[in-house]
Structure 1
Amino acid sequence: MATLLNLQPPAPREQQPPFAALLAETCADAAAVRDRIRDPLFGPPLLAASALSGVDSADGPLWLGLDVELDVLPQSLPELVRIEVECPLEHLDDAVALAKGDPRPLPARLAVRVAADGAGRGWAAESSERIAATGAHPVLASGLGAEDVADFLAVLAHSDAGFVAHAADAREVVAILAATVAALTGDDIPAAFRAADPAPVAALSTAAAEAVREILVAIAVPAGAGIDAELRDLGITADLGSR
């Protein structure tokens, strides 16, 4: 494979393997948060704001999905690593305004997922560029076509905003990783995404994998899908001990 551009290693992640905390388990409620997978491959879980009841600070940090009005959030919140909102493309201005503290400052970094049903080609590049310009994380939604993924990553590969993603299964996780590698190397992003070949990802040097993680912050996955075991079997996260 091609050599990753900009292979200056980023600041060390406290000596953690580069794919540590790559995945975020999507939890349905407070009980699921407490019962979530305790594994080095998983970071803070994703929980909808409407399911916050019963969660407290002892449950650890969360990736919060904002599915209620901002004013409905409780005054006392657990530690949050990010707050994700979903919006249609035509309401993107309202979503990015949240990153600027309008109507009020958020308690964590914003991530914006755009629902662009029926939008023409180019929406992924335009929206991700606008989101990244505010300092928020663009969100790569699950189920996108390869061309939209390529447009999205072509922007994020040259931004320091970083992005988060959603994946339905292990194949989609591999496809996202492979496409991110292609974006950084100047290879064919749509082809890498379609092929979802784990071999180039498993073969990354530590410095190259760190470069990938500088832009790919985390991937939300379904609970109990066995994706962690599949990634280890593919050799992508073999340096992480199992739970």
Structure 2
Amino acid sequence: MSVPLTLGVPHRPEPQALVAGLLHQRCRNIDELNGRHSALTAGPPVVAASVLAALPSGIDLGRIVVDLDIDPAELSGGAATYEVARFHIDVDADTVEEATRLRLPSPLVIFPELTDASLMDLVTVIVDAHRTPGFAASASPRHIADILAVVAHADVGVCARAGNGQDVLAVLSATVAALRGDDIQTALSDPNLGSLARLRPEAAEALRTVLLGIEIDDAASAHRELVAAQLVRPFSPDGPPPTT
């Protein structure tokens, strides 16, 4: 059963609701954290656990997403202060079940290694464990379509990784298609930007309960793509980044 994402009337569209806090910039060191993009589209940055464990005391990072590249137990000795919005972890077919059993203080997003043989099994394991699956925008369109088709009817949401602003728009369009029951692969390859800009606030809210965020290296460039697509007002004050 598809979710009706009605466009246009009777409510005035508010496209910024679609992208507020959407972009999670990957930061590989403290300098990148200090210089990260800050705008309406900026959500908590993504920081590797190994970076956090090595930071000195006296640093308050605020709200972040933690990429688990080391055992989470090693974070207990870290000196920096932060609040974890989510944990992200990469797995393969041999480690996915172990990852679902991790006991963490914040939600866990699991990015599985996607292959034709294991895709649906891996996604099913993740969703059945009430964890959130993730995917890269560079993955096979069929793989992305299969994942979105599953999460559109689950309550765990999904996260994505993008290489650039065009990837971000493709992921947004594909998620809309999944919720509406439209062709996801077509939406990936040819995003309907006008349709995104005309989404009613209720539809944008429904979409963001599914698409929790998108990791990206260059959040500033992706933000400009969203402005060009008329999903962000170019001259409005951005204010502080919202939390997601």
TM-score scaled by length of structure 1: 0.84
Q: Does 1:201 align with 2:201?
A: no
Q: Pick the aligned partner of 1:120 from 100, 111, 116.
A: 116
How many residues were matched structurally? 224
Cα distance in 2, alignment partners of residues 185 and 200 from structure 1: 12
The worse-fitting range, judged by mean Cα deviation, of 167-176 and 47-56 is 47-56
Q: Does 1:187 align with 2:182?
A: yes
| Alpha-carbon shift at residue 6 of structure 1 (Å) | 7.2
Match of 1:93 in 2: 97
Match of 2:108 in 1: 110
Provide closer, same or farther for how the CA distance between residues 63 and 38 of structure 1 changes in structure 2, counting only shifts above 3 A. Answer: same
**In structure 2, what residue type is equivalent to 1:171?**
Q
SS at match of 1:147: helix
Cα distance in 2, alignment partners of residues 5 and 127 from structure 1: 28
Provide closer, same or farther for how the CA distance between residues 155 and 240 of structure 1 changes in structure 2, counting only shifts above 3 A. Answer: farther
Provide closer, same or farther for how the CA distance between residues 108 and 57 of structure 1 changes in structure 2, counting only shifts above 3 A. Answer: farther
- Contact preservation (8 Å) 1:202, 1:237: no
* 1:155-194 alignment runs, 5 A limit: 155-194=150-189
Identity rate, percent: 29
Which structure ranks higher in relative contact order (CA pairs < 8 Å, sequence separation ≥ 6)?
A: 2
Q: Does 1:84 align with 2:88?
A: yes
Cα distance in 1, alignment partners of residues 235 and 155 from structure 2: 26
- Contact preservation (8 Å) 1:81, 1:109: yes
SS at match of 1:89: coil
- Contact preservation (8 Å) 1:34, 1:59: no
The worse-fitting range, judged by mean Cα deviation, of 28-37 and 177-186 is 28-37
Match of 2:55 in 1: 54
SS at match of 1:176: helix
| Alpha-carbon shift at residue 223 of structure 1 (Å) | 3.0
Cα distance in 1, alignment partners of residues 150 and 234 from structure 2: 30
| Alpha-carbon shift at residue 184 of structure 1 (Å) | 0.6
Match of 1:210 in 2: 205
**In structure 2, what residue type is equivalent to 1:60?**
G
**In structure 1, what residue type is equivalent to 2:111?**
R
Cα distance in 1, alignment partners of residues 51 and 199 from structure 2: 38
Q: Runs in 1 of length 4+ with deviation above 6 angstroms?
A: none
Cα distance in 2, alignment partners of residues 164 and 221 from structure 1: 11
Q: Name stretches of at least 5 consecutive residues in structure 1 with no aligned partner.
A: 8-15
- Contact preservation (8 Å) 1:111, 1:138: yes
Q: Does 1:237 align with 2:232?
A: yes
Q: CA RMSD in A?
A: 2.3
Q: Name stretches of at least 5 consecutive residues in structure 2 with no aligned partner.
A: 7-15, 239-244
Cα distance in 2, alignment partners of residues 125 and 234 from structure 1: 33
TM-score scaled by length of structure 2: 0.83
Cα distance in 1, alignment partners of residues 130 and 59 from structure 2: 26
SS at match of 1:51: helix
Match of 2:31 in 1: 31
| Alpha-carbon shift at residue 37 of structure 1 (Å) | 1.3
Cα distance in 2, alignment partners of residues 179 and 224 from structure 1: 20
**In structure 2, what residue type is equivalent to 1:47?**
V
The worse-fitting range, judged by mean Cα deviation, of 176-185 and 192-201 is 192-201
Cα distance in 2, alignment partners of residues 58 and 241 from structure 1: 28
- Contact preservation (8 Å) 1:49, 1:73: yes
Match of 1:10 in 2: none
Q: What per-residue deviation string (whole Å, max 9, x for no partner) do you get for residues 196-243 of structure 1?
A: 332221221111111110100110111355110111111123389354
- Contact preservation (8 Å) 1:49, 1:64: yes
Cα distance in 2, alignment partners of residues 242 and 233 from structure 1: 16
